[in-house]
A = this chain, B = another copy of it.
Amino acid sequence: MSQPKLSFQPKLSFQNVSRRFGEGDKSFLALDRLNLDIADGEFVTVVGPSGCGKSTAMNIAAGLMDVSDGKVLVDGRPVSGPGPERGVIFQQYALFPWLTVRQNVEFGLRIKGLPASERRRISDHFIGLVGLRDFADALPKTLSGGMKQRCAIARAYAVDPTMLLMDEPFGALDALTRVHMQDQLLDTWSRERRTVFFITHDVDEAVYLANRVIVMAARPGRLHKIIPVNLPAERNEDVRLSKEFTEIRNQVWHSVYHQKPQVEA
Contact = CB atoms under 8 A, between A and B. Distances in A.
B184 A201 contact: no
Interface string A31-68: 00000000000000001111100110000000000000
Q: How many copies of the polypeptide does the oligomer hold?
A: 2
Contacts of A173: 50, 201
A145 B91 contact: yes
A262 interface: yes
A52 to B, nearest CB: 8
A89 to B, nearest CB: 13
Interface residues of A, number: 48
A245 interface: no
A256 B176 contact: yes
Interface stretch (A80-88, A101-109, A125-133): A125-133
Contacts of A253: 175
Contacts of A178: 201
Nearest to A257: B176
